Chains A and B, each alone.
Chain A
Amino acid sequence: QVQLQESGPGLVKPSETLSLTCTVSGGSINNFYWSWIRQPPGKGLEWIGYIYSSGSTTYNPSLKSRVTMSVDMSNNQFSLKLTSVTAADTAVYFCSRRGGSSSPEVTWGQGTLVTVSS
């Protein structure tokens, strides 16, 4: 059974870059779609975007100018970078796996809280 685990700094300074990694265990990263979703404190879920194992990406237009996703096949990981962060980027960040190209997010990590503060 595939499991996902987010990791990265819990505190990032304003204007800096948020970097998170999702480690996939119990299955291969190959031939799947991998997503990032976030949840600001007290608010709902926001879809950030996804990356296919080949490296092709689709981002939410609201974040597109600041987001980069990548895949590391050798370590069975994928990553998120969000530049020029502000307090509005404070959120629990989740990684997830889709079931296919036209599929919802089937398997999720538990999430990691990232706080943007000086």
Chain B
Amino acid sequence: QSVLTQPPSVSGAPGQRVTISCTGSSSNIGAGFDVHWYQQLPTTAPKLLIYGNDNRPSGVPDRFSGSKSGTSASLAITGLQAEDEADYYCQSYDSSLSGYVFGTGTKVTVL
């Protein structure tokens, strides 16, 4: 069950900026739990892209940035590149479920 809602798809031309929203509730994002983001390239395992709302692991380009406000979070990709075409998932912790939850996933297409 996905309790974090994302748009099914977003698209942009190379070089453009795209954003992906992640909408939660008062039992997860709104409760103060951190949001993390993953990139999943075709036929590969998810890769941690952003942790703790707005932190990039070593090796992740600074074109990727995260933010969080209230019961929502966002992932922004600036200077969109062909290699960014992938599925993106947000993730947090939910106190009502007492467990981790993922977003519904967003497919990014580079036009």
Are A and B genuine complex partners?
no
B residues neighboring A (CB under 8 Å): none
A residues neighboring B (CB under 8 Å): none
